[in-house]
Structure 1
Amino acid sequence: MGSMSTVTAARWVERWECQQQRYAVDREERFTVIADVVEHATRGRPDPVILDLGSGPGSLAARLAERLPHAEVTAVDADPLLLALGRACYGQALRYAEAVIGEPGWLDGLTLERPADAAVSTTALHYLSESTLGRVYRELADRLRPGGVLVNGDHISPDSARLADLAVVIGRRHAERHLAFAHEDWDSWWTCAAADPELAPLLSGIGPRRHPRCEGNELTLSGHVALLREAGFSHVGTVWQFGNSHVLVAVR
């Protein structure tokens, strides 16, 4: 694969940040809440180990590394281009690992030397089927230290169908007020990235694994809570919500 300049990487990461605002209600506040949870859960630990699952170029991982400069933060994603953008943009502030969440042995490839203190994810785990997600929750419970946390910021519907519909409306109206839909969308970002000659070498030959197949699930909040408890997490619940965007915390 080719390499890219820091300037190019920073430009494309900024565009990534903008387009992602279309898909996460109050994205920056959600990041801040997740960082608050991780900081609290790792207080007193000199060098916490943190995993960002489905990290993209490392948007949340970079914020965590800035908040917790002594932490070892690993950005985990299946997309080589997004990981390359993160490496060029954020440098040695983060570790990077290419892995498809839920594939057999995916956690082994992260070469963790000790149990993690926190695993976080944003707008990624809803791509997994219910059975795959349950297995991932169990695997993460095995790799987190006692007292460690799994923090998931994602689209999670309330249990009531009527409230789920209302949550979508509330989220859409918030996005409209903050002009989130004025940003380019996912497809536009990828189309433009493919046309950039500096990124083209990184896109060629990647193959179909770049975007793992989206199985999806229809789990409501109580469904996630039940899976997490079955996986071995003792305390599970929501600490922040706006519309159908939740920050769900599970304590090992």
Structure 2
Amino acid sequence: MGTVSTCIVPRMGLSMATAERWVRRWEAQQERYALDREERFTVIADVVEQATAHVRRPRVADLGCGPGSLAARLARRLPHAAVTAADVDALLLELGRTHHADAARFVHAEIGADGWLRQLDLDGPLDAAVSTTALHCLDAAALRRTYEGLADVLRPGGVLVNSDGNDAANGDGAGPVARLAREVGRRRAARQGPAGREDWDTWWRAAAEDPELAALLPAPAPARTPGLRHNGLGPDAHTALLREAGFADVAPVWQFGDDYVLVAVR
């Protein structure tokens, strides 16, 4: 899961060893929250590969990229693609730039803010935009702006692929089927969940204590809650917003419990 201002963040070099250690630790921490994380990544790559099969050098944007977990996997699957990875967090971006230097062009952007697409500095229409466990951090107004902006920059036939989870707080996450789906997910997590896995807060506290990472963290460090904050919007609400934004066809292509991969075609 990544985080989703529009200022330029100064580059602060990290050693390769430090970046590798903290990215590996990030990967393990994220698996605590998404048991099917690798399957989700594979499904996203399957969709992007199929949707761009006729494009010589597809342009792909990873929104809320974190340290580049999805971007790196896309680059391995599609080495001919030009991947732009965007996030608002300076530390996660620098981890990605260092550890996945050849996978993507990492840029600082606040997804959904006014003018955020200019920060991507795209050199043409996108063929695909992807995101995983990040867009749930946006409120409905920011999410609408995000989808409308993507509808403008995706080519006809281009795809938006969003992997996320439903939430019980409100909206279409509060119905009886949604509650059953969450229970299915909880029971599966109890059966297969990794015991003793580091959580989100522990990772960030430990990162703040690493002298090499400290320069990339504001002082005092902000409360980082994207992993816990959720707009309460499930796939039905996302589908409605996407269609209003101009996407012709929207449907989930993978789902288990309350986790899903939603695809929208421009």
In the TM superposition, what are the counterparts of 1:1-252 in structure 2 within 5 Å? 2-156=12-166, 161-204=175-218, 216-252=230-266
Aligned length: 252
**1:130 and 1:216 in contact (8 A); partners too:** no
Q: Residue 114 and residue 2 in structure 1: after superposition, are their counterparts in 2 closer, same or farther (change >3 A)?
A: closer
Q: 1:107/1:145 Cα in 2 relative to 1: closer, same or farther (>3 Å)?
A: same
8 Å Cα contact 1:129-1:215 kept in structure 2: no
SS in 2 for 1:240: strand
2:58 touches 2:127 (CA, 8 Å); kept in 1?
yes
What is the aligned partner in structure 1 of residue 5 from structure 2? none
TM-score normalized with structure 1 length: 0.93
Q: Specify which structure has the higher proportion of helix.
A: 1
How much does 1:11 deviate? 0.8
Q: Distance in 2 between matches of 1:40 and 1:29?
A: 16
| In 1: Cα distance, 2:132 partner to 2:162 partner | 6
How far apart, in 2, do the equivalents of 1:62 and 1:194 lie? 25
Deviates more, 1:67-76 or 1:168-177: 168-177
Contact 1:25/1:243, CA 8 A, preserved across alignment = no
- In structure 1, how many angstroms separate the alpha carbons of the residues matched to 2:62 and 2:190? 28
CA 1:149–1:191: 2 relative to 1, 3 Å: same
Q: Which moved more, 1:91-100 or 1:163-172?
A: 163-172
Structure 1: how far apart are the matches of 2:12 and 2:220?
Answer: 12
CA distance in 2, matches of 1:201, 1:102: 27
Structure 1 residue ranges without an equivalent (≥5)? none
Deviation string 1:127-170 (CA, Å, 9 cap, x unpaired) is 11112211111110101000000000001356671221121122
- Sequence identity, in percent? 59
1:50-84: CA deviation from partner (whole Å, max 9, x where unpaired): 00000100100000000000100111000010010
Q: 1:175 offset after TM fit, Å? A: 2.3
Post-superposition CA distance 1:104-131 (Å, at most 9, x none): 1011111101000000000011111112
| Cα distance change of structure 1 residues 15 and 224 upon mapping to structure 2, 3 Å threshold | same
Residue 62 of structure 2 contacts residue 71 of structure 2 at CA under 8 Å; is this kept in 1? yes
Specify whether residues 210 and 99 from structure 1 end up closer, same or farther in structure 2 by C-alpha distance, changes over 3 A only.
farther
- In 2 relative to 1, CA 206–33 (structure 1 residues): closer, same or farther, beyond 3 Å? farther
* Runs of 4+ deviating beyond 3 Å: 157-160, 204-212
- The one-letter code matched in structure 1 to 2:260 is H
Unaligned runs of 5+ in 2: 1-10
Which deviates the most, 29-38 or 151-160? 151-160
